[in-house]
Amino acid sequence: MALWGNNDAKGSGGTVSLDYSTLVVTGTATTFGQVGAAATGDVIRFGDRAGTYYGDAVIVGIASTTQLSIASTSGLSGAAISGVEFDISELPKYTTWDSVYSQKTQSAAESTLVVRTSVASTASAGVSTVAIASTTGIIVGDTFASGSVSKVVASIGATTVSFGSTIASTLAEGDAVTVTRATGGQKSSVYGVAGAGVTAAATTKYELTHAGWVGVTTYIDSSGNMRVKKETLVAMSGISTGNTPAYPPA
């Protein structure tokens, strides 16, 4: 079994739940084992890396299109996983046992309130831009939260905020919104970066010298500035990307 592949965009429709005691993952509307979908040896990534993320695990068996088993929970946060989004990737398997990238060892990010506001007009599930009553003080990288929706702000308009991925639930006009900013903590994750990602990251703090599998750690320094550390795990061309968030992350 290869230690990694070149596909960071395998089929991952539906949602999943995990039984920590049995290591069995049960899917709803999933296609495990089908062509282009999850296969034994792939890595399943639980949750949304732009929102609530639970970590990575190697798939060791597939029983049906809606049930698979994982090797270990060592790379997971330990929080309950029920009805969450997921991605399937051929990223280097050894990273799922590396404490640097384990969600168990990610330090809790402190945050400060930027603004309390409200949704200015209904935003349907499936959109990535939301109109809000006030964007004063908001910057890229802040966290938008309203109801069950939690997203990192990728861009800001005069009356809107946009995210790197779509929202899963509809937000109604008048729904309460809070926007917060990380002031501490550390996050690490592995990205599959194609040539387009290298180009997009050029001249930014995410700048890379190689396409391939890259480990990225972000943290807030004592002056409130976000710092980025990059580690090229596998330099290679031909990586297929498409999982969220794309590189460079919003």
Residue 224 resides in a domain: no
pLDDT bracket for residue 33 (50, 70, 90): very high
Q: How far apart are CA 89 and CA 71, in angstroms?
A: 15
Domain boundary residue among 97, 129, 159? 97
pLDDT bracket for residue 214 (50, 70, 90): very high
Task: Classify residue 117 as left (phi > 0), alpha (psi -120 to 50) or beta.
Answer: beta
Which of 18-22, 28-32, 74-78, 236-240 shows the lowest per-residue confidence on average (mean pLDDT)?
A: 236-240
**pLDDT for res 39:** 96
More reliable by pLDDT, 79 or 225: 79
More reliable by pLDDT, 181 or 145: 145
Q: Is the domain of 87 the same as that of 20?
A: yes
Q: Is the domain of 73 the same as that of 130?
A: no
**Contact status, residue 119 vs residue 171, Cβ threshold 8 Å:** yes
Residue 72 resides in a domain: yes
Residue 2 resides in a domain: no
Domain boundary residue among 140, 163, 178? 178
Q: Is the domain of 89 the same as that of 31?
A: yes
**Residue the block writes with tokens 């399937």:** 88
CA torsion angle for 64, 67, 73, 76 (degrees, to 10)? 120
Residue 152 resides in a domain: yes
Q: Is the domain of 64 the same as that of 91?
A: yes
Strand order across the beta sheet in which 160-163 lies? 111-118, 176-182, 143-146, 149-156, 160-163, 129-131
**Contact status, residue 153 vs residue 182, Cβ threshold 8 Å:** no
Mean pLDDT over each residue of the chain, to the nearest integer: 91
What is the mean predicted confidence (pLDDT) over 78-95?
95
**pLDDT for res 141:** 83
Residue 62 one-letter amino acid? I
CA torsion angle for 126, 129, 135, 140 (degrees, to 10)? 100
What is the mean predicted confidence (pLDDT) over 104-109?
71
**Domain that residue 145 falls in:** 116-178
What is the mean predicted confidence (pLDDT) over 86-110?
87
Residue 4 resides in a domain: no
Give tens-digit pLDDT for 123-154: 999 999 999 999 999 998 889 999 999 998 99
Please state, for a pLDDT cut of 90, what percent of the chain lies above it. Answer: 71
Total domains present in the chain: 2
Q: Is the domain of 87 the same as that of 142?
A: no
Bridge partners of 192, per DSSP, are 213
